[in-house]
Amino acid sequence: MCHQLSVKNTTCLIFWTMLVLIAAALLVAVVLVARLVYVLRDIHQGKSLVLSQHKTVKTLVVLGSGGHTVEMLKMVAALDPLKYSPRIYVVADTDEISHKKLLEVEKDFKGEGNFVVEVIPRTREVGQSWITSAFTTLRALISSLLVLVQHRPVLILSNGPGTCVPLCGGAVILRVLGMFPSRVVFVESLCRVRSLSLSGQLLYPLSDHFLVQWPQLTESHPRARCLGRLV
């Protein structure tokens, strides 16, 4: 009789424990969804940080191979190096060219403002299968989150290399978690005349400011702003 009561009590304890855990998980899920809706609403309503209120703006710059780096560094060269400082450049681990080119830009700044270079894994190599890309993308996301938590940038600048997706996505995740509100500015590449890049399509709903360089792109993407040719 006592043994039966003990078994019954244990079963009840397990049942109520599981019920509490399920309820807690549902509560966390509801809170996260509510936070995501709140953050996306702020992004889409243009509730962005007023940079003029900051003496200096810690700026994270995402560089990619080829034309992405050339275009982005032209835009960086036009910034006030003292205002947008420190600068955190993020490059892929196999991208040696971008590293060399950013050092040339910083040399032209003549030591005005501080900068560091962070390296993260590529999300996907050329010719890599989509199945293995899921694992490399997850690795890149974890590395991106570590970089973001370490530096806590106020502003993130990107123009579409694959490396930018985990970084900008990670910034939104941290914003949903209430850690710190990095603002994402995405500048579509000059070569995108009639359609957005894949990175642009993914980050269009997640960017605080989405800039294009050809006016026809604003017709199909009303949140985009065309400021003319930026590079």
**Domain of residue 18, residue span:** 1-47
* End position of a domain, from candidates 9, 25, 47: 47
For residue 231, being part of any structural domain is answered with no
Residues 60 and 164 in one domain: yes
Judgement on whether residues 155 and 73 belong to the same structural domain of the protein: yes
| Count of other CB atoms within 10 angstroms of residue 21 | 10
Which pLDDT value is given to residue 49? 59
* Closest C-alpha among 49, 73, 78, 46 to residue 62: 73
Q: Specify whether the CB–CB gap between 223 and 210 falls below 8 A.
A: yes
Give me the pLDDT at residue 217, please: 95
132 lies in some domain: yes
pLDDT for the residue numbered 54: 73
Residue 39 shares a structural domain with residue 62: no
pLDDT mean for each 10 residues of the chain (231 residues): 59 83 91 89 73 83 89 94 95 91 92 91 74 84 96 95 93 93 93 93 95 94 89 74
* Same domain assignment for residues 67 and 114: yes
pLDDT at 120: 94
102 and 6 inside one domain: no
User: Which letter does DSSP use for residue 100 in this model?
Assistant: H
Judgement on whether residues 91 and 123 belong to the same structural domain of the protein? yes
Are 12 and 126 contained in the same domain?
no
Q: Are residues 136 and 119 in the same domain?
A: yes
**CATH code (residue 74):** 3.40.50.2000
**Residues 161 and 220 grouped into a single domain:** yes
CA angle 195, 205, 43 (to 5 degrees): 135
CB contact at 8 A, 157 and 61: yes
Claim to verify: residue 110 and residue 194 sit in the same structural domain: yes
Residues 218, 157, single domain; the answer is: yes
Degrees, nearest 5: CA angle 204-62-64: 95
Residues 59 and 127 in one domain: yes
- Which residue spans within 67-129 are E strands per DSSP? 87-92, 115-120
Residue 194 lies in a domain: yes
Tokens of 228: 């003319």
How far is 1 from 111, CA to CA, in rounded Å? 82
Domain total of the chain: 2
Among candidates 91, 90, 63, 70, which has minimal Cα distance to 190?
70
